[in-house]
Amino acid sequence: MAIQWYPGHMAKARRQVQEKLSQIDVVIEIVDARTPLSSRNPMIEELVEQKPRLVLLNKADLADTEMTKRWLEYFETEFSKSLVIDAQRGKGMNKIPEAVRSLAAPLLEKWKRKGINPRALRTLILGIPNVGKSTVINKLAGKKIANIGDKPGVTKKQQWIKVGGEMELLDTPGILWPKFEDEEVGYRLALTGAIKEEIFDFQDTVVFFLKFMKVHYPQLLKQRYDLEELPEDVVDLFDAVGKRRGCLVAGGLIDYDRVAEIIFRDFRHGKFGPVTLETP
Ligand SMILES: Nc1nc2c(ncn2[C@@H]2O[C@H](COP(=O)(O)OP(=O)(O)OP(=O)(O)O)[C@@H](O)[C@H]2O)c(=O)[nH]1
């Protein structure tokens, strides 16, 4: 089953962002370090256009450190300035104001030339649901301002927030795809919590995950389910995990729905250890 989603608030969110962009000096785009490309909104290039942009690779604590280094290089060369952060623990976040200032250097220079008194730099946080926008805002503000939820779509209203004397932040709702053109993007977003559980198929998502893990992190998979070998076939792998976890139904058959759910939750709860779901 393909994962598809056509959220009604899409056009509205896009319009709201467009309206606000005219007041923005620097855009802060948050992506999920475990899946940095899939967690970008394809519309972002078109929306943000020529604005200076800082990309934050968030949830670095859950991602593979080596891969995060490679992704950082990728973003720095391909797009714009990039930082690795763990917003939940506030790691790497003290570098944000300075990065924003350096991105706004041409603007600050222009103000100086024209004799304009510098004002706080206005920034906008953009990102798909659940990448940690509210967490970043609260950490930068030093108090609770934005709602944090483990479910997508918690950020509802837009508001300005002062960060020291030099920076202001606008909280906006995350923007999502009108549809997922690439099925694998959908699976990665399902695994990292960017899309609602009701709209995707656990089994398909977990099949994708297991195939990926077999190639990239076989050891973590073996460790988690105490398997000496990983079977070639993904169904056999489901069987092996199912037996380990006692997911049996009448007749000794494996309850695949339960197995899928267990594996899915294990990933969600970081039980495999740091994992990055795509390579640069
Ligand atoms: N492990 C980890 N969890 C994080 C980090 N940043 C945010 N989270 C968690 O990710 C979930 C989503 O965070 P939010 O800040 O609500 O994300 P959001 O982008 O504002 O989400 P929406 O309101 O749905 O658009 C919450 O459970 C956070 O605690 C991080 O760096 N590491």
CA dihedral 188, 189, 191, 196 (to 10 degrees): -150
Would you say the CB of residue 62 lies under 6 angstroms from ligand 1? yes
d(CA 187, CA 201): 9
Structure tokens at 19: 């309206």
Would you say the CB of residue 59 lies under 6 angstroms from ligand 1? yes
Q: Interface pTM (ipTM) of the complex?
A: 0.98
Q: What is the pLDDT of residue 3?
A: 44
Judge whether 209 and 262 are in contact, CB under 8 Å.
no
Please tell me the distance between residue 197's alpha carbon and the centre of ligand 1 in angstroms: 16
Would you say the CB of residue 174 lies under 6 angstroms from ligand 1? yes
Cα–chain-centroid distance for residue 87? 12
With a cut of 50, list the residues of the chain below it in pLDDT.
Answer: 1-5, 155, 173, 178
Q: What is the pLDDT of residue 141?
A: 84
Judge whether 1 and 183 are in contact, CB under 8 Å.
no
Residues 123-148 pLDDT 10s: 988 888 889 988 998 899 887 766 66
Atom of ligand 1 nearest to the CA of 155: 23
Please tell me the distance between residue 41's alpha carbon and the centre of ligand 1 in angstroms: 17
Closest residue to atom 9 of ligand 1, CA basis: 132
Domains of the chain: 8-171 (3.40.50.300), 201-269 (1.10.1580.10)
Would you say the CB of residue 132 lies under 6 angstroms from ligand 1? yes
Q: What is the pLDDT of residue 80?
A: 79
Q: What is the pLDDT of residue 2?
A: 42
Q: What is the pLDDT of residue 74?
A: 94
